[in-house]
Amino acid sequence: MILILSLGNGLKNFVVAQVESFGTDIVQIEVKTPNTAHMSSENASSMTGGMQITTLKLDEIEDVAKLSNLGSWYGGILSQQITNRNDENEQTYIFGVTAGMMEADGGAELESGSFFMEEDGRDLKQVAVLGSKIKEIFFPGEDAVGQSIKIGGKKYKVTGVLKERGSTAGFSFDEVIFIPVETLQRKIMGIDHIQFAIFKVKNMDLVEQTMEEMRVIMRDKHEIEYDNEEDKKDGIDDDFAVMSIAEAREMLEKVFGTINILLICLASISLVVGGVGIMNVMYVAVTERTQEIGLRKSVGARNIDILWQFIFESIFLTLLGGVIGIIIGISFSELITYIISTYGYDVEFKVTGYSVLVAVGFSMVVGLIFGFYPARKASQLTPAEALRKE
């Protein structure tokens, strides 16, 4: 149980930290399948199944960005293209974004060079900024800024290289090439839509009001109307979703909380099996110590004294097992943390005081419940009956 709670909490903290690396003052608009809830399995399966929602446009995002409580922002779309330089060829993620990414994304920093400008997008310039791993693949040991790389068979001038960032929410920014979103749309993909837009919020106290204002603008742009307030609140007919990082964190904590409860229930099965083992041990103890019970009763021991003697022994056995389990759980948590760190993931599976208390509490309850019946049987023996048994 210690190990399960440690793994569950460690994974939750890792995922939440990844999401918050974008910044805690972030609101996002992303595409959504109409007639589904944003976080539903139906929407997720539609998106992963290849459904394309093409209604989110840059010009309407620019109108949303005019809201007084929104600051810097960027919109974007993701693609995969064959990238090559000299004899090196790679299937690479191409991230088309607007020039505001460096200001709006709290995790992005330049290692060298500069990010592309807003006019580069308007003029459909073929310029690129490389993730740190992409730079090492195509320009090992040399300065990439000012040199060229081919994306989809066309030359792009490298203007900058980003600092190593690692993975965020399962996506590695180090293995991406960033180009102006307009260039990606028109010169590579032949589309006019984007997949998402991210905004910085100036005053987080007004974030709920701001998000509602964003929905009003988007529904007006997409001509979406609702007949009742319940459907409007759920946004069922929307082909977009508005979410804050705070909401994403709250949702993740609920999900991982549910997962932890499920894991604890599964671990409890092993505790029940262990409890049955404890009960059998105590039955054997009662049988082998029948004469001792009779002797104690003959010199004045009450039923309650015998009952508590065997209950305490049962609790002691389970607590001893619990202590050993805590030591093993802590050791395995440290081992798993070390193994995962060798793969470059900063995940810490830490055993908390809460986990120890839960484990110790469960051990005591198991000892009490499964030790009670054998203890009760021992306490009900009469001195004469107990002393007659060999």
Whole-number Å distance between alpha carbons of 144 and 352: 46
Stretch (H or E) spanning 239: none
121 membership: H or E segment, kind and range: helix 118-122
Q: Which residue has the higher pLDDT, 224 or 23?
A: 224
Residue 229 CA, chain-centre distance (Å), reads 32
pLDDT at 372: 82
Distance between CA atoms of residues 343 and 43, nearest Å: 32
Is the pLDDT at 43 greater than 60? The verdict is: no
Q: What pLDDT shows up at residue 210?
A: 94
Specify the amino acid at residue 266.
Answer: L
91 or 234: whose pLDDT is higher? 91
Looking at per-residue confidence, does 342 or 335 come out higher? 335
Mean pLDDT across the chain, nearest whole number?
83
Could you tell me the CA-to-CA distances from 13 to 61, 200, 257 in Å, in that order? 32, 23, 12
pLDDT at 74: 95
Q: What average pLDDT does range 281-298 have in this prediction?
A: 76
Cα 126 from chain centroid? 36
- From residue 134, give the alpha-carbon distance in Å to each of 105, 163, 226: 20, 11, 47
Q: Nearest CA to 194 among 73, 53, 366?
A: 53
When comparing pLDDT for 8 and 369, which is higher?
Answer: 369
Confidence of residue 46 (pLDDT cuts 50, 70, 90): low
Most confident of 15-29, 63-77, 288-302, 364-378: 63-77
- Among the ranges given (18-32, 62-76, 95-109, 340-354), the one the predictor scored with the smallest mean pLDDT: 340-354
Q: How far is CA 36 from CA 19, 47, 221, 234, 237, in A?
A: 23, 11, 20, 9, 7
* Number of other residues whose CB lies within 10 A of the CB of residue 359: 23
Cα–Cα nearest to 78, from 101, 61, 103: 101
Q: What residues contact 324, with CB distance under 8 A and at least 6 apart?
A: none
Indicate the angle between helix axes 245-288 and 353-379, nearest 10 degrees: 30
In this structure, are residues 199 and 104 in contact, taking their beta carbons and an 8 Å threshold?
yes
- pLDDT range class, residue 200, cuts 50, 70, 90: very high
Average pLDDT, integer, range 136-157: 94
> Does the global pTM surpass 0.75?
no
Average pLDDT over residues 51-56: 84
Report how far apart, in Å, the C-alpha atoms of 99 and of each of 96, 119, 178, 229, 238 are.
10, 9, 10, 38, 27
Confidence of residue 344 (pLDDT cuts 50, 70, 90): low
Residue 68: φ, ψ to 5°? -65, -25
Give the residue extent of every domain in the chain: 73-190, 249-388
Per-residue buried b or exposed e for 219-257, using 16+ beta carbons within 10 Å of the residue's own CB: bebbebeeeeeeebeebbbbbbbbbbbbbbbeebeeebe
Model confidence at 40: pLDDT above 60: no
* Number of other residues whose CB lies within 10 A of the CB of residue 368: 16
Task: Count CB-CB contacts under 10 A for residue 383.
Answer: 15
156: phi then psi, degrees, rounded to nearest 5: -125, 135
Rounded to 5 degrees, what angle do the CA atoms 90, 121, 67 make?
120
